[in-house]
Structure formats: structure tokens, C-alpha cells
Amino acid sequence: MKSKLTAFTEMFGPKAIIGMVHLPPLPGSPLYDDKGISSTIEYAMDEARKLQGGGVDAIEIENYLDASYFPDAVGPELVSAMAIIAHEVRKVTDVPMGICILADPTAGLAVAHAVRAQFVRATFFTEASVDVSGLVLPRPHQLLRYRKFLDPSIKIFADVHIKHSAPLAPRPIEESAYDAAYFQADAVIVSGKHTGFPTRMDDVRAVKRVLPEVPVLIGSGLRQSTAAEFFEVADGAIVGSSLKKDGDAANPVDCERVRALMEVVRGVRQAREAERA
């Protein structure tokens, strides 16, 4: 049986870059403008085209501007909007796609199944945590059984010590990561304290040390200047802020930033290949 890292590399390639499609506010969220989602669909399609055109290995669609997020289950209006948007984005891209519904990975899994996405991001998976919405209690037992029911091939990428929150029972990050992998996460995501904040290299090393055959992904703060260092250890990265205009996650994708990052990443890959030759 192949390792999770081998399966990840076969699907995404080595040192994969997953580009973020951060969506405007969706129906039901505090900042939604009540104009319908047609403009959001066009925006998301354009963002995805720019990311794929710049050479990213996959995309992740997220309801980023729906803060403050539900600590448990989102409403049907959000799920239906995400499904419609992701369905249209799927038509204009052929790279692997992921779905992140904050903070309801079960709803994300339903959307992923409907649009044939390859993975979901579970921001809370095995750690009870506290954030601005209150106590967040992950339910991996439900998520895993729902995946078995819908489509066991959909991968689960799980955050540990997720940004913008604090674990209810703090533990070393490598212990949390080990539990996430033990409970069937297909990749583990290590992030900084907030969106766009740098991930601590010591955290990445600690997690990779205990999970050598599980993909360890950078979840925030990777940029052109730090990619080579992070990829000495990490197996991939989910990148949003540094690919946007002015480095702001709420802004549209900046094609030049995508091109520049992917040029660095290709150099890292070529150097690794040369070492193996």
C-alpha cells in the first residue's frame, strides 16, 4: 500500500503549490450584498484561471470573507452557493480542486463530491479549540463516515493548531499532527497565527519529524522569499495572501506574483532532481 506522501505527490506533484480562491461574502454572511452570486461566480472563475495560468498545481475554494464563521454547521444557503460556484470554476480549470467551508468540513465534503473536487480542508479536525465564535468541537468520526458514504477517494487535509484560534487543551504541535494523521487525515497543515502570517519553521520540522510519510503543508505565510527554505522540509503549501495584489488575501490574484513564486518553486524542484541524479 502506497504511503500518503506518495499518493499526494502522484496527484499534485512534488513541492505542490495550492492556490487560494478567496470568495467574496456569500448568501447569509454579514457582508453579503444581496445582489446574487453571478458576480461572485465570475470573480471566482477569473481567479482560478489566473492561478492555473500562472502554473499552480491545484486550487482551493474558500468562503474566506464570511467571517465570523459558524463554529459547527453552516446553513443550506451557503452550501448551495459554494456548490454552484465550485461547479462553474470546475468548468474552466483542470488542476485538482479543494473545498474549504469554514468551519464545516462535512458541508465541504458534500460540495466536493458534487463537483468532483479532490480534497477538502478541515480547519478543525482533531482539536477542540476556542475562537471568536466560541468553542469549536470537531467531529472527525462524522466526517470520516460521511466520506465513506459519499466518496472515499476525497482527501482530507487537516489543520493543526489552526490560525485565529487556540486549542482548548494545548499540546505540542507534533502530537496534534500525529493524531490528525492517525485519524486518517491525508495531509497535515501547519500555519502561522493569522492569515498571511509566517509559519514557524520549527513547527514544520517538528511535525515532519513524526510524520515522514505524510504530506506536511505550509498553511500561511509562504512567499517567494521563503519558499526555498520551507521546501527543504515541507511537501507543499497552500498559498493565498502572497499571490494577491499588495499581499492582501481579500484582493484579487496578482498574475506577476503567481509567476514569480512558481519560478522559485520550479527552481527548488529542479535542484532536488539534480541532487537525486
For the chain, which residues make up each domain, given as ranges? 4-276
pLDDT band at 193 (very low <50, low <70, confident <90, very high): confident
Strand partners, 239: 19
Cβ–Cβ under 8 Å, residues 12 and 18: yes
CA distances from 153 to 11, 98, 119, 178 (A): 12, 13, 9, 21
Q: What is the pLDDT of residue 34?
A: 80
Q: Which residue has the higher pLDDT, 63 or 134?
A: 63
Cβ–Cβ under 8 Å, residues 210 and 178: yes
- pTM score of the predicted model: 0.96
Report the run of H or E that residue 48 belongs to, with start and end. helix 38-53
Cα 179 to chain centroid distance, Å, stands at 19
Q: Report the percent of the chain where pLDDT is more than 90.
A: 84
pLDDT tens digits, residue range 250-260? 999 999 999 99
CATH class held by domain 4-276: alpha beta
Cβ–Cβ under 8 Å, residues 176 and 167: yes
* pLDDT exceeds 90 at position 71: no
User: Using CA atoms, how far apart are residues 191 and 160, in angstroms rounded to an integer?
Assistant: 8
